[in-house]
Amino acid sequence: MTTTPTIQLNDGNAIPAIGFGTFQSPDDGTTYQAVKDALAAGYRHIDTAVAYFNEDEVGRAIRDSGIPRDEIWVTSKLWLQDFGYEAATKAIDRSLSELGLDYIDLYLIHQPYGDVPGAWRAMEAAKKAGKLNSIGVSNMTPKIWNQFVPDFETLPSVNQVEFNPYFQQTELRKLLAPKDVKLEAWAPLGQGNQDLLQEPVITKLAAKYNKDVGQIILRFEHQEGIIVFPKSVHEARIKSNLDIFDFSLTDDEVAQLRQLDKGQGQHDPDTPGTKDMLLNAFDVHAND
């Protein structure tokens, strides 16, 4: 079984460098089985969110795994309907209940719109109370970061954003590096972008190292210091995505992969109307 390396956060906690993503994994038993398979394969970092509607299955899989709780890093996220101090305070307790856990290792502001300062204060209070170990943000561009974070009492430990070889977040990384804020990658494999998966430089490296293209991409991101959590519901793919620690890309190869950067992704959080679009897309209280 693979033992995954960890990355030190600016709050002193050590996060596993690779995790298992559960976005768009349905709450019909599929997520439960996928998380159980991931834990059995050696993952010790599971990423979920209230807006994924699968926290209960993630928590059940963790409990049923037989792995000690302190060996598994669990991330969840606060959704837009629960921004503001009071709403966020209740939402954190709700996520703990859904997950069936006493604490969450990392809790993120999922989409940075609305009463972000109030939500952040609630997260800071929950961290002090021992309900959250680390806190961070997600989908913050440099513009959004500069709008909110300078007024935070506590610096975020991570910013989870879209990241893959086609979108390497150059400006954001320059902004975060001096503050030692780590970048986490959602869609680290480009959400199945066939152009990316067929890039000649990547396929050639896959042949050289006897790896698949996904493993080359994930290895590149790991060497760039990015925390990744690829998603799959297929056991073989779950295992192969973790198998990236028995080889290293050379400096020249990393430089070649850096040249693939197109400077933009599929999602632009700065686009006007994004908040309303997201609010209409996900209502985490629809079944209350």
Residue type, 53: F
- Sheet harboring 20-21: ordered strands across? 20-21, 45-47, 73-78, 104-109, 132-138, 158-162, 182-186, 227-228
Closest CA to 182 of 3, 4, 16, 2: 16
32 catalytically annotated: no
* CA angle at 250 for the pair 246 and 252, rounded to the nearest 5°: 155
The catalytically annotated residue of 52, 107, 113, 166 is: 52
Closest CA to 213 of 194, 233, 229: 194
CB atoms within 10 A of CB 207: 11
Chain-centre distance of CA 51, in angstroms? 14
Task: Provide the residue count of the chain.
Answer: 288
CB 259 within 8 A of CB 233: no
Cα–Cα distance, 161 to 150 (Å, whole number): 19
Cα–Cα distance, 2 to 240 (Å, whole number): 11
Cα–Cα distance, 169 to 267 (Å, whole number): 12
CB 88 within 8 A of CB 55: no
Structure tokens at 46: 């599971």
Helix, strand or coil for residue 265?
coil
In sequence order, the β-bridge partners of residue 227 are: 184
Residue type, 189: L
Catalytic residues: 52
